[in-house]
A = this chain, B = another copy of it.
């Protein structure tokens, strides 16, 4: 059976193609009677509108791109996708995920994007901002919404986690638990890096100073570049080797820190495990907390800062919708808080320190 076209339906229903189109899209002025006739005809012919043809004629693709940094099978990225999908799918939009692992892939993505301008809007997550990116974004010619981007420039709207206040609340916790020296452990940050967690490192520095920590009482420990190089790019997870190196540096400090914050749960957990392996226990000997509240932190009872990437994705998608409809958005650039989740890895600082 060759596929029925709109004119077949028109013939069957005894109306014009235009009317069929109107009726089937539910929208414009069509009398209830006609609509019923048309719908019935379409039904019996097993007819449905062709997306491609509609797209061509209308200029609307009903597709939105989701560009993430790092693999899609990351807790964060997958959850964002889920959230975006949840609000866009019911509206009839397809969401097309893409990802890039490094700067050159990112550039290639933007270079090829117009090649198949086949989306109405794009959501971009966790990219570090730079002027090149900015230019690329504005050249896109479609609504661009950012998700967890360090800067809002170049985006028509954005949503993100309030890293600064979240990190601050973590620092305050450690301080009130009596930890005299604290540390922030994080992955190696390449100079051409595309992911944006470096915001947290900066936030830690600021929050520590703010909370009264002297500079040498709030130290930063970054993963070794060589360790990072052997890992999958874009992964936030620390390898066992990376973790071992970090712990070595941590413990070899003169009067080592007892309060530790990690950039993400996934990065923090290997460090935590390595400490345990050294027979240094939390919260007896030290306190440690992650960031994200990913399932893995729950499994290990790790204290952490909760964020909800699916909610971020949904919020971003809602902004896309608003942009597409030309509605005015209340908070063009919104920031949502991350909240502290107390579990088993934080407690009063060991006495005598």
On A, residues with C-beta under 8 Å from B are: 3, 46, 48-53, 55-56, 61, 71-75, 77-79, 81-82, 85, 89, 94-99, 114-118, 237, 266, 269, 273, 295-296, 299-300, 310
Bound: A273/B296 CA distance, A: 13
Copies of this chain assembled into the complex: 2
CB–CB B82/A118 < 8 A: no
Bound: A48/B112 CA distance, A: 9
Bound: A118/B52 CA distance, A: 7
Bound: A73/B68 CA distance, A: 14
CB–CB B116/A49 < 8 A: yes
Taking CB atoms, residues of chain B closer than 8 Å to A78 are 72-74, 77-78, 81
CB–CB A52/B49 < 8 A: no
Q: Shortest CB–CB separation between residue A89 and chain B, in angstroms?
A: 7
Bound: A75/B294 CA distance, A: 12
19 interchain pairs, CB-CB under 8 A: A46-B114, A48-B117, A49-B115, A50-B56, A50-B116, A51-B116, A52-B52, A52-B61, A56-B56, A73-B75, A73-B78, A77-B78, A78-B81, A94-B96, A95-B97, A96-B96, A237-B295, A273-B299, A299-B299
Q: Shortest CB–CB separation between residue A166 and chain B, in angstroms?
A: 21
Known pairs A78-B72, A237-B295, A300-B300; A85 contacts B56 (CB<8 A): no
